[in-house]
């Protein structure tokens, strides 16, 4: 005998999708209540409509005599945003929206790819020299840190164990993960993201093997030429700032070790930490807003990668359209941020003398131009 014959193309429960499915009922009510809409999709109605307008051409499905209830672009976008916002499984969402779990999975995959492919060049482009100069001006104006091109950090994102991966994704915290490494500007927007580092990597391995690290060391980023520190004739390179887990390099500043602190070095560490709040808050916002990051992503690693990238892109879109004030409150309101695990990276190897000189010069400058903390 052949395979099991299907008695119908759509399950009887799912045939009532347009009467009882969440999109066809609750979603249209939410449009009349902006605050509830924001809680449901983590963005304002205007931002949602903007994204929908951009991705609709890629999500439009043609009607056929087999597909009698085509799922339109708006419904597809709603399902995908709810998946990212709640972390619910495809099976759970299939009951809520009254469609097959496989259909939900296909919709999420198609939609996150459409969001990334269409909107990444607009809201997360490769920074130019002019972009970096503007970022450095903002860091000086807002955070009183000169020649800064952005704050760098990395986070573990939980995933289910990939097939045939052995222990490559199994990290020191005893769960499977991939690493999100990102740089943000002075206004909490991501400027560089890299997803896919193995959770097992440590001791700086993820950073050292990243494309960002290689481009930085080969001076192939669009980093502007060195310029004078404000109010001085001291010419210094532009730098990214990071915490103690990263290596000290000519274009990468990190704090002084706690074992070597004196008052001047401690003050430098305080100023660097103050400026680094941007990346900590950026991660805090996406973690509080998109709860899928607080759970193990139950897809293959390829879909997990593009989903994380799409979430970072959605963060930038929301910052561009709505500003950061309302969203920054989520960082302090959400207890989930305490579970956002950072990589256990320990920088090793000999530090170049030039990198030491650059950090000492920044230290002396900041001590000569102190600021009053609020």
Q: Where do the structural domains in the chain lie, given as residue ranges?
A: 14-123, 129-368
**Total count of residues recorded for the chain:** 374
Q: Residue 331: its pLDDT value, please?
A: 74
Q: Residue 184: its pLDDT value, please?
A: 98
Q: Residue 343: its pLDDT value, please?
A: 56
Contacting residues for 278 by C-beta, under 8 A, at least 6 apart: 143, 150, 151, 184, 185, 186, 187, 188
Compute the distance between CA of residue 145 and CA of residue 143 in angstroms, rounded to an integer: 6
In a 3-state reduction of DSSP, which class is residue 100? coil
CB crowding 173-191: b at 16 or more within 10 Å, else e = eebbbbbbbbbbbbebbbb
Q: Residue 351: its pLDDT value, please?
A: 74
**At residue 253, what are phi and psi to the nearest 5 degrees?**
-95, 140
Q: Give the number of other Cβ atoms within 10 Å of residue 348's Cβ.
A: 10
Look at the block and give the residue holding tokens 């945003």. 81
Token code pair at residue 19: 């009467």
H-type alpha helices, 27-146? 28-30, 34-41, 45-59, 73-86, 90-97, 101-123, 129-143
Q: Give the number of other Cβ atoms within 10 Å of residue 119's Cβ.
A: 19
Compute the distance between CA of residue 113 and CA of residue 313 in angstroms, rounded to an integer: 11
Cα angle: 90, vertex 91, 94; to 5 degrees: 85
Contact 342, 154 (CB under 8 A): yes
HSE-CB at 60 with a 13 A cutoff on CA atoms is 6
Compute the distance between CA of residue 52 and CA of residue 174 in angstroms, rounded to an integer: 39
**At residue 298, what are phi and psi to the nearest 5 degrees?**
-95, 50
DSSP state, residue 140: H
Compute the distance between CA of residue 15 and CA of residue 67 in angstroms, rounded to an integer: 12
Q: Residue 21: its pLDDT value, please?
A: 80
Compute the distance between CA of residue 111 and CA of residue 127 in angstroms, rounded to an integer: 25
Q: Residue 126: its pLDDT value, please?
A: 95
Compute the distance between CA of residue 225 and CA of residue 248 in angstroms, rounded to an integer: 19
Compute the distance between CA of residue 201 and CA of residue 293 in angstroms, rounded to an integer: 20
H-type alpha helices, 218-300? 263-289
> How large is the C-alpha radius of gyration of the chain?
23
What does each of the 374 residues of the chain score in pLDDT, given as a tens digit?
Answer: 344 444 456 777 777 777 888 998 999 999 999 999 999 999 999 999 999 999 999 998 755 545 556 899 999 999 999 999 999 999 999 999 998 899 999 999 999 999 999 999 999 999 999 999 999 999 999 999 999 999 999 888 888 775 545 555 555 665 678 889 999 999 999 999 999 765 445 435 678 888 899 999 888 999 999 999 999 999 999 999 999 989 999 999 999 999 999 999 999 999 999 999 999 999 999 999 999 999 889 898 899 999 999 999 999 999 999 998 888 877 766 655 545 555 555 555 567 899 999 999 999 999 999 875 44
Q: Residue 176: its pLDDT value, please?
A: 75
Q: What is the DSSP string of 282-328?
A: HHHHHHHH-GGGGS-B-S-HHHHHHHHHHHHHHHHHHHHHH-SHHHH
Token code pair at residue 218: 């080969």
| Enclosing H/E stretch for 77 | helix 73-86
Beta strand 190-198 pairing with 177-184: antiparallel
Contact 132, 222 (CB under 8 A): yes
Sign of the alpha-carbon dihedral angle for 248, 250, 251, 253 = positive
DSSP state, residue 218: T
HSE-CB at 11 with a 13 A cutoff on CA atoms is 12
Burial, 123: exposed, middle or buried (Cβ in 10 Å; 0-12, 13-18, 19+)? buried
First and final CA of the chain: distance in angstroms? 78
């Amino acid at each position: 005998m052949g395979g099991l014959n299907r008695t119908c193309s759509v399950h009887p429960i799912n045939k009532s999708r347009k009467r009882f499915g969440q999109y066809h009922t609750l979603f249209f009510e939410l449009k009349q209540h902006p605050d509830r809409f924001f809680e449901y999709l983590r963005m304002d109605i205007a931002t949602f409509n903007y994204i929908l307008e951009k991705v609709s051409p890629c999500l439009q499905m043609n009607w056929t005599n087999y597909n009698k209830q085509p799922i339109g672009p708006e419904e597809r976008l709603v399902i995908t945003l709810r998946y990212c916002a709640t972390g619910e499984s495809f099976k759970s969402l299939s009951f809520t929206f009254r469609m097959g779990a496989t259909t939900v999975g296909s919709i999420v995959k198609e939609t996150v790819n459409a969001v990334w492919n269409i909107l990444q060049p607009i809201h997360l482009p490769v920074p130019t020299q002019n972009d970096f100069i503007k970022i450095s001006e903002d860091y000086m104006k807002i955070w009183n840190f000169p020649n800064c091109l952005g704050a760098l950090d990395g986070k573990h994102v939980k995933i289910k164990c990939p097939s045939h991966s052995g222990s490559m994704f199994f990290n020191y915290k005893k769960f499977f993960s991939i690493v999100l490494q990102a740089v943000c500007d002075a206004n909490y927007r991501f400027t560089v993201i890299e997803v896919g580092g193995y959770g097992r990597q440590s001791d700086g391995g993820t950073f050292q093997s990243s494309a960002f690290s290689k481009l930085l060391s080969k001076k192939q980023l669009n980093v502007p030429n060195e310029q004078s520190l404000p109010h001085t004739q001291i010419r210094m390179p532009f730098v990214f700032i990071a915490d103690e887990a990263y290596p000290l390099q000519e274009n990468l500043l990190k704090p002084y070790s706690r074992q070597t602190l004196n008052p001047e070095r401690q003050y430098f560490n305080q100023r660097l930490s103050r400026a680094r709040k941007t990346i900590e808050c950026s991660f805090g916002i996406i973690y509080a807003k998109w709860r899928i990051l607080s759970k193990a992503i139950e897809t293959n690693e390829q879909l997990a990668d593009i989903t994380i990238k799409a979430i970072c892109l959605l963060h930038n879109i929301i910052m561009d359209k709505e500003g950061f004030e309302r969203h920054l409150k989520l960082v302090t309101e959400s207890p989930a941020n305490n579970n956002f695990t950072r990589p256990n990276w320990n920088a090793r190897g000999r530090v170049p003398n030039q990198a030491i000189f650059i950090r000492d010069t920044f230290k002396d400058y900041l001590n000569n131009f102190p600021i009053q903390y609020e």
